[in-house]
Copies of this chain bind each other. A is one copy, B any other.
Amino acid sequence: MKVVIIGGGAGGLSTASNIRKYDEDAEITVITRDEHIAYSPCAIPYVLSGDVGCFDDIIMHQPEDYLERDIMVITRAEVLEVSSENNKIRYQSLDSLENDGSEDAEKPVKELYYDYLVIATGGAPFIPPMEGADLEGVFKIRTIKDGAKIKEWAEKSHKAIVVGAGLIGLEIAYGLKNLGLEVTVTEMMPQIVPRSLDPSMATLVQKYMEKKGINFILGQAIDKISGKERVEGAVFGDEEREADMVILATGVRPETKLAKMAGAELGRWAIVVNEKMQTSVPNIYAVGDCVEVYDAITGHNTQSPLGSTAVRQAKIAAKNMVGIDAAFRPVLNSMVSKIGALEFGAVGLTKTAALQNGLKVISGQKRALTKARYYPGAKRIDVKMTTTLDGKIIGCQIIAEERVAERVDTMSLVIAQGITCNELVNMEFSYAPPVSMVIDPIILAAEDACEKLKRLNGD
């Protein structure tokens, strides 16, 4: 079995490793444009912030490591063509393109045949069509190279504007602040993290960041980036803010060009795959940021551009290619982030998103503590839960300075299992004074939801 995988990120390389796990004989080749492979893009902000020492630290494997497992990795190579009729791709080294500067015709274009092709091309930063987006000092953020450029520029800068208050935008903003810059985050929507948090919860994260000295301009689009060659500031309506660097954290667009060329069906957002991670071309699979996923709650297709999603998809794709039946489950968009000491996470739908999707819902909310009240170092924890009117939990948001991620995972399971708030309040949680409250904050929020539903039903 010959497998060619396009893309050297979490999706592509996990697919390669998983195939090897099940099939010793498969010929596996991974091709990537990037010069680095197997690094964690989600860690780039933490290198900026200084929490992780350097960019090399977040590269977990070298191509040689894969060669040991008989997986061939070709870096800095651009796939020019996918021919699904001939089960063949054509690619060209980026180095030869750049180095000799000669005509296309003279450059060595190579071919690879495949039995299975895996498209794991990820996404490219979305650069809004905006005056000044091409000035020096304006950065996108996707690869380690982007991160290194930002760090280098930041070291001689004083004022940064981060456009976009999603996770990456906030994490980058905190990183730059830690480097000593004056940082302003701007966001078109009237709140930060609009995809995962309701306004009341988003405010808690915003306040924490404001306390750390980060400024916010919300509910206002940036009109243009000003400057001649180098960035000098950004314009919002009548106002101009000075800046010597601008980071565009305005989201990621799935890279679907090769999939389209191969004749694979594209959906509203990205490549369409079935639950085996198979595209509409039977021997072409796709995984990671470049595919659409099915939202477990809304029932609509959506995006889930997360490393953890890519890794889960890779496992499913690999199994199916080697002949083991496996299905990728609909996603709940479970996420977590850490900014300074503050962790925040969410899974399922926010109340806002539920209402936008036409669902009738209520929310239960509770502020409590992460340990017994008397235990030194107990932190405030905020839990908000979204439930349908029959009590089924469909979303949860959690914010605290510790112990958030695993609670999000518990709630992920609660939602996946269709558990109601009435059932949840009777669930068994572990307890010891140094690590939890005798009644878990999750239970307290579920009790609040139960009370609200009771009042609503006039009991």
Give the B-binding residues of A (Cβ under 8 A): 10, 40, 42-43, 46, 51-53, 57-58, 60, 306-309, 311-312, 315-316, 326-329, 331-332, 334-338, 343, 345, 347, 372-376, 403-410, 412-414, 416-417, 425-436, 438-440
A374 touches B10 (CB 8 A): no
6 A-B pairs in the complex with CB atoms less than 8 angstroms apart: A40-B372, A43-B374, A52-B374, A328-B426, A334-B428, A345-B430
Chain copies in the assembled complex: 2
From B40, B306, B408, B431, contact of A307 by CB (8 A): B431
Most buried by B among A43, A51, A413: A413
Q: Which residues of B contact A426 (CB under 8 A)?
A: 312, 316, 326-329
Q: How far apart sit A433 and B51, CA to CA, in the bound complex (Å)?
A: 11
A311 touches B405 (CB 8 A): no
A338 touches B403 (CB 8 A): no
A43 touches B433 (CB 8 A): yes
Known: A40-B372, A373-B60. A431 touches B306 (CB 8 A): yes
Q: Which residues of B contact A413 (CB under 8 A)?
A: 410, 413-414, 417, 427
Q: What's the minimum C-beta distance from A65 to chain B, rounded to whole angstroms? A: 13
A436 touches B405 (CB 8 A): yes
A433 touches B372 (CB 8 A): no
Please list the 9 inter-chain residue pairs (A to B) with the smallest Cβ-Cβ separation, ordered nearest first. A406-B406, A308-B431, A336-B430, A338-B434, A405-B435, A57-B374, A334-B430, A43-B433, A408-B430
B429 touches A412 (CB 8 A): yes
From B10, B406, B434, contact of A438 by CB (8 A): B10
From B347, B435, B440, contact of A343 by CB (8 A): B435
Known: A372-B43, A438-B308. A431 touches B336 (CB 8 A): yes
Q: Which residues of B contact A46 (CB under 8 A)?
A: 375, 433-434
Known: A374-B60, A405-B435, A410-B413. A312 touches B343 (CB 8 A): no
Q: Which residues of B contact A60 (CB under 8 A)?
A: 373-374
Q: Which residues of B contact A404 (CB under 8 A)?
A: 435
Q: How far apart sit A58 and B316, CA to CA, in the bound complex (Å)?
A: 50
